[in-house]
Structure 1
């Protein structure tokens, strides 16, 4: 597939991407975006299945992997069985991840994260204490309870991010990304739709951005040299996407200014997404599979005070309620799925000089190439299409616009991840062969350490 100038899409996508400030170079413009399942021990100790999981994408040809949500503190978890980087004992595990990924010429950037009030399943360690946030108002979708953080607690979290970055560098990882989007703690401070503080961390945008900027400075203070640092930002909050009477939150102009401040603070790159909750109708853009939600949402039943109400809505037995919710979800999403954040990303890129990465359902090589050639972004970050086809980059390199069995953006992978191994659960992609689908989903558990010892 070539354009009018005789160039293939891969000519643009396959070009290495250099980050001048940090000196990091990625072999192509494809980044596996931040997504993962519960592959680890309940206490957050990294497991062998996660290493297998990350290697699948490195082997498939992506230039770099951005890890899933990695908590910098036990209180910042979103789910049990997610690997953490909260103390030095985690360094050897992340070093093992780096070794496996680097063997395929792929880079690994760890996403440093804190849940704040947005804890899907807090686990026994957080079950009986109220979550920390910029506000004492509960999350609107799930009814997750929280309280406004004290200055001492803010300082502690800032230090936790810095120490986590130091561990990442010691583990031999290639960089860190702050999860400053999708309604997690940093976004709870950034968003005018959530942050209702009246101190130096609330009110004007400059105050709401203070936490993120302090975290950036802490990471720089705890790492040596030019260790790569990027920030994931929700370009627009759309905080009223589910309940239109809620405040809208940050608009694009706010995020452009925040990104300019981050560039001034020495951040190496920006990663552009959307939304102040997760999942959000626009992130990840696609369907809301009510049948899956009715099966797995029970795991969140007691995480928030609205869990029971949501479960009743999602239950297929109610008939009209789940259909109405699905219709509303699609309406609030809009008609675009692939490249849904492109216009927002282009506006941010036009106002900064550091590399910018675009997130948002890209699966077609022609679209990825256009994003790069038109200066909308310097690279694309992809999750669900890579879950469906781990070797998507190889299809693009071979000249295909999309793989023979493309992702349907059904979002069954994401909802199943609450209770089941993360993988593609769209049965039609496996010619309706359930055993074949399960073999693929469960492949992440092989080889086990015992199998590897006998290879």
Structure 2
């Protein structure tokens, strides 16, 4: 496969990655409650490094303890976190895989606060988030400076840990998005109003990080090309559009960012991100949104409303009417390569019935490459490399996207959760994996309460027990030796 562009190295200003496939940010609640790491996280990241990805972008790594989206995510808010991340990075390097830490802060978008955090989160605004009803207060300017410094110190710790770079999580509704978005940021000071003012927060972070790590350390940014902030709740403002993002990306490049990672949406999950269905019904408890959403009941003032919509079948149509109303209008526009049916969810059932090649290809054409047109527009606006996320799991589409200048590389999360060795399958000549991800999003439904993994039994011949056995492999090896002589194991 020496002539395959997927396996040509991708060269950034300060980093070279062996191929064009990045494991995008994803992780379950594998770490310790206090934000320290453990063996399960190392086992998790090893799956993808061993499977052949060129680089791993970590899950959401909080730069402050208050910036967590959930407990049990390893943080980088203190120096004593450095040795753990050093160990994870060394493991990745054993497989010639680069390891990039995603520096993050939740702002108001916090699923589970944890006991360390106040009930009221911080944000660019004091407006309650509309989907879950997450409460927040507007940051004072001295607090903004403190968080900017926390991002810089987090980047410095990542560099001390021997990692290969850092990524700012400026997409999908977290704190940086809350400042950037015209649909969320309602400030009247120098951090609100005009696009330049709304970008001030992230540009100050970039400046502080560069001052901390120097000019020779890889530094990229994940950004939402469009917010679609009113996708679920129609009365909300739409938020940033593509032309806003193009200007922001140009400012980021001028400020010292080495690459742009393209996504979409002002919340997570969002009707446009990740691509796929929102499971409301299923045979197993883990198949349904209601199975884990009860964990969030105390997180916001609209969570009980959502719980009822998920729990009672007669209310599902109300949720579906809201959740799918925007995708049916805009799914064709972002993808400049594949023609997309308007009702993608109908194909999912067809695929599950037989996994026939024709149905499989329909599914792939429906969900893959949703952000490619956005990626191309951003690539045309900047000179730095552009990475695109959006449901990729077909080698021929990835090759075409790179050859035709839509992006320089692609990132994947759920597709690699389903097939940790997907890159090796591409290298062996396969166009589509033997057991593809079905875009069911059951993996994401389980992350609040259960170990992250693929929860689609159809991929295991309908064997639910086999499905769970694979999910639980993240705990092998255990954090300490199993003592058989003591009757353990």
Which category of TM-score, normalised to the shorter sequence, fits these structures? over 0.9
Aligned residues: 442
Contact 2:119 2:135 (C-alpha < 8 Å) held by counterparts: no
- TM-score normalised by L of structure 1: 0.95
Quote the Cα distance in structure 1 between the aligned partners of 2:482 and 2:12: 36
Quote the Cα distance in structure 1 between the aligned partners of 2:5 and 2:130: 42
Deviation, 1:130, is 1.1
Quote the Cα distance in structure 2 between the aligned partners of 1:371 and 1:211: 32
Contact 1:234 1:274 (C-alpha < 8 Å) held by counterparts: yes
Contact 1:10 1:396 (C-alpha < 8 Å) held by counterparts: no
Q: Is 2:318 the counterpart of 1:324?
A: yes
The equivalent of 1:5 in structure 2 is: none
- TM-score normalised by L of structure 2: 0.89
The equivalent of 2:237 in structure 1 is: 247
Quote the Cα distance in structure 2 between the aligned partners of 1:328 and 1:430: 32
Unaligned runs of 5+ in 1: 1-7
Q: State how 1:253-332 maps to structure 2 within 5 Å.
A: 253-291=243-281, 292-315=288-311, 318-332=312-326
Quote the Cα distance in structure 1 between the aligned partners of 2:136 and 2:399: 43
Moved more, 107-116 or 322-331: 322-331
Q: State how 1:115-154 maps to structure 2 within 5 Å.
A: 115-126=106-117, 128-154=118-144
Deviation, 1:452, is 8.7
Quote the Cα distance in structure 2 between the aligned partners of 1:78 and 1:9: 41
Q: In structure 2, the residue corresponding to 1:239 is in which secondary structure?
A: coil
Unaligned runs of 5+ in 2: 282-287, 332-341, 343-365, 485-489
Contact 1:9 1:366 (C-alpha < 8 Å) held by counterparts: no
Q: State how 1:116-265 maps to structure 2 within 5 Å.
A: 116-126=107-117, 128-265=118-255
The equivalent of 1:4 in structure 2 is: none
Quote the Cα distance in structure 2 between the aligned partners of 1:388 and 1:9: 26
Q: Is 2:398 the counterpart of 1:398?
A: no
Contact 1:80 1:121 (C-alpha < 8 Å) held by counterparts: yes
- RMSD (CA atoms): 1.4
After superposing on structure 2, the runs of 4+ consecutive aligned residues of structure 1 that deviate more than 2 Å are 326-336, 449-454
Contact 2:231 2:325 (C-alpha < 8 Å) held by counterparts: no
Which of residues 362, 370, 374 is equivalent to 2:392?
362
Which of residues 25, 32, 42 is equivalent to 1:41?
32
Contact 1:287 1:330 (C-alpha < 8 Å) held by counterparts: no
The equivalent of 2:51 in structure 1 is: 60
Residues 388/10 of structure 1: CA separation in 2 closer, same or farther (3 Å cut): farther
The equivalent of 2:487 in structure 1 is: none
Q: In structure 1, the residue corresponding to 2:34 is in which secondary structure?
A: coil
Residues 154/10 of structure 1: CA separation in 2 closer, same or farther (3 Å cut): farther
